[in-house]
Homo-oligomer: A and B are copies of this chain.
Amino acid sequence: MLSALDLVRRVEAGELTPRAVVDICAEAIAACEPQIGAFATLGLDAARRAAEDPRLTATPLRGLPVGIKDIFDTADLPTQYGSRLYAGHRPRADAAAVAMVRRVGGLILGKTVTTEFAALTPAGTRNPRDPAHTPGGSSSGSAAAVAAAMLPIAFGSQTGGSVIRSAAFCGIAGFKPSYQLIPTVGMKAFSWHLDTVGLFAAGVADIAFAAAAITDRDLRVDRGAPAAPRLAFVRTHLWPQASTAMQAAVEAAARAAEKAGAAVSELTLPPILEEAYRLHRTIQDYEAFRALAYEYDHHRDALGPSLREQLDRAAAISAAEYDAARSVAKRARAALGDWMSGHDAILTPSAPGAAPHGLASTGDPAFNRLWTLMGTPCVNVPVLSESELPFGLQIVGRFGRDRTALEAALFLETAIKPK
């Protein structure tokens, strides 16, 4: 994979130019893209031209190529939201996140494949770890492009579990920051209380570097070893849904973290968290029925059957049910904040198991929904092996303490590395 930090250091050392980095990506794209199908649109020529700008070497991202999930508006590349309704659509402006990437010297290499409106229907992208398996979704293209070394950094978004689950299935680092740390302005909305902009990169230090540059926050974790975290190992009520191998991977990671010096406590969440988990869909679908109201009301037949049925059902959710769900979520966020006061992060699975076989589903976001609803920072730490598909360990931090979450994730990533 392409480590963003490694590439940046080589650009800083004069070993590589931004143009050479684009060419490295272009070569990988030429080799892998026909099999993987990670891109909705490529913008290689424009990126090559932009890479010649001598000012790039003074920018935080140093001209690193970035992939943008095709639900973010781009003024210079088509933006199709994974929907045939938007075939050839060219927005008038860049999304805020896209403009922020350009400001810090990122080069937009292309738009990556998203499921239709970032919902659940698979879009054909294959998992670079094994093309017979799903790469996850809805940020399928971004996760696959990073896993296949076609890009060092890519943007995704998470409403259920799209960033963390896709990163887990593809064996890369995924970061869903605290709710609204990166603005959703100019991103096609599905559920405004849940939609969260996230990132993919090869490893935890890479993703922290990218997040630091884009948000202008002190999030880098590559300058010295991270402190040993106080980890709450939380199985949650979903634990029986995790595969035996997944359970074993998380338990082994907890032991490895403890051995490396972390304080690890096995704990149970307050009951209101499970109640909130069950209400995630009420909030998501009530809002989707309004966020996609125009498409549903005027072009229902042009929606895929899965999304159409999801919105058909969503029409029946009452304002009272939605308000009650939001109220539970608010109390759950407060309870979680109190509960986590003695811990730096939670350790829990990123997904029920490795990437499922086949492309008929993007996999189950069950292990992610609660944390999206809580708005807490989440990091996928990949467990890679030669013989198996990757497993994902999920680090969940406290709201607004993204740096602590990233440090805990880096600590875990280091602790589980084969010595």
Whether A75 contacts B293 by the Cβ 8 Å rule is no
A27 at the interface (CB under 8 A from B): no
Whether B215 contacts A75 by the Cβ 8 Å rule is no
A255 at the interface (CB under 8 A from B): no
Known A-B contacts A89-B92, A180-B193, A193-B180; the reply to A185 vs B100 at CB < 8 A is no
**When the two chains form the complex, which single residue of B185, B293, B319 contacts A99, counting CB atoms closer than 8 Å?**
B293
Shortest Cβ distance from residue A192 to the other chain B in the assembled complex, whole angstroms: 6
CA distance A298 to B99 in the complex (A): 10
A86 at the interface (CB under 8 A from B): yes
Shortest Cβ distance from residue A73 to the other chain B in the assembled complex, whole angstroms: 9
Whether B294 contacts A93 by the Cβ 8 Å rule is yes
A290 at the interface (CB under 8 A from B): yes
The residues of B that contact A297 with a CB separation of less than 8 Å are 99, 102-103
Chain A interface (Cβ within 8 Å of chain B)?
75, 85-86, 89, 92-94, 96, 98-100, 102-103, 180, 183-186, 189, 192-193, 215-217, 287, 290-291, 293-295, 297-298, 318-319, 323
- Show 13 residue pairs from A and B whose CB-CB distance is below 8 angstroms, ordered by the A residue: A85-B92, A93-B295, A94-B294, A96-B189, A96-B290, A98-B294, A99-B293, A180-B193, A185-B192, A185-B290, A186-B189, A216-B318, A217-B319
Given A102-B297, A180-B193, A184-B192, 18 extra CB contacts under 8 A: A75-B294, A75-B298, A85-B92, A89-B92, A93-B295, A94-B293, A96-B189, A96-B290, A96-B293, A99-B290, A99-B297, A100-B293, A103-B293, A103-B297, A183-B192, A183-B290, A186-B294, A216-B319
Shortest Cβ distance from residue A76 to the other chain B in the assembled complex, whole angstroms: 10
Whether B183 contacts A291 by the Cβ 8 Å rule is yes
Identical copies in the complex: 2
The residues of B that contact A294 with a CB separation of less than 8 Å are 75, 93-94, 98-99, 186
Shortest Cβ distance from residue A195 to the other chain B in the assembled complex, whole angstroms: 10
User: Chain B: which residue is nearest A101 at the CB level?
Assistant: B293
The residues of B that contact A86 with a CB separation of less than 8 Å are 92
The residues of B that contact A185 with a CB separation of less than 8 Å are 189, 192, 290-291
The residues of B that contact A180 with a CB separation of less than 8 Å are 192-193
CA distance A86 to B92 in the complex (A): 8
User: Chain B: which residue is nearest A189 at the CB level?
Assistant: B185
Closest 4 CB pairs of A and B: A99-B293, A93-B294, A94-B294, A185-B189
Which of A75, A186, A215: most chain B CB closer than 10 A?
A186
CA distance A51 to B367 in the complex (A): 49
User: Chain B: which residue is nearest A79 at the CB level?
Assistant: B92
CA distance A306 to B51 in the complex (A): 34
CA distance A98 to B185 in the complex (A): 18
CA distance A319 to B177 in the complex (A): 15
CA distance A215 to B287 in the complex (A): 12
Shortest Cβ distance from residue A380 to the other chain B in the assembled complex, whole angstroms: 25
Whether B183 contacts A287 by the Cβ 8 Å rule is yes
Shortest Cβ distance from residue A81 to the other chain B in the assembled complex, whole angstroms: 10
The residues of B that contact A102 with a CB separation of less than 8 Å are 297
CA distance A320 to B111 in the complex (A): 31
CA distance A35 to B193 in the complex (A): 42
CA distance A318 to B218 in the complex (A): 12
CA distance A102 to B85 in the complex (A): 20
Shortest Cβ distance from residue A49 to the other chain B in the assembled complex, whole angstroms: 16
User: Chain B: which residue is nearest A295 at the CB level?
Assistant: B93
CA distance A282 to B27 in the complex (A): 45
Which of A96, A184, A192, A323: most chain B CB closer than 10 A?
A96
Shortest Cβ distance from residue A324 to the other chain B in the assembled complex, whole angstroms: 12
Shortest Cβ distance from residue A374 to the other chain B in the assembled complex, whole angstroms: 16
